[in-house]
Amino acid sequence: MKLWQWWIVVVIAVSGPWYGVVRHAQWQRATWIPFHGAEDTPRDVAANFALFVPFGLSLAREPRVRGRVAVAALAALAVSLPVEAAQLFFRLRDPSATDLLMAVCGSAAGSLAAQALDWRGAGRAHGRPAAGARGYER
């Protein structure tokens, strides 16, 4: 199993607690507008962002992935949306548009970081120091 596939399991696992199930969706607990929910604290926003950075980073390292940032963002949405939808049925969870947005942003940031690391590595592979390295002048 590839690292990004394992990361899906990690996201599902940390999105608990997976108890306190209710029979009907709790639509009144959903926050539809990003950054307008009571649970949208800076800590929660940062945690959701950070949770998806490794996912985007590992997905972008796949050699067959084209349009890495867009693919990483869409993949994060595809992982996060079902998790948020499931939270409608858990008493202790609040589904949030902020969580979706931070998942997409975190994954895109991870993808951009992977591309930046590849770009820096490509410069070294051709005998040139990375941009910003000491002694590097144009």
Domain locations along the chain: 44-124
User: Between residues 49 and 13, which one has the greater pLDDT?
Assistant: 49
Give me the sign of the Cα torsion angle 118, 120, 123, 124: negative
User: What's the pLDDT at 138?
Assistant: 47
Does position 128 have pLDDT exceeding 70, yes or no?
no
Tens of pLDDT, residues 36-49 = 998 899 999 999 99
Contact indicator for 76, 7 with CB cutoff of 8 Å: no
Radius of gyration of the chain (CA): 18
Tens of pLDDT, residues 19-77 = 788 999 999 989 999 999 988 999 999 999 999 999 999 998 888 777 789 999 999 99
User: What's the pLDDT at 7?
Assistant: 86
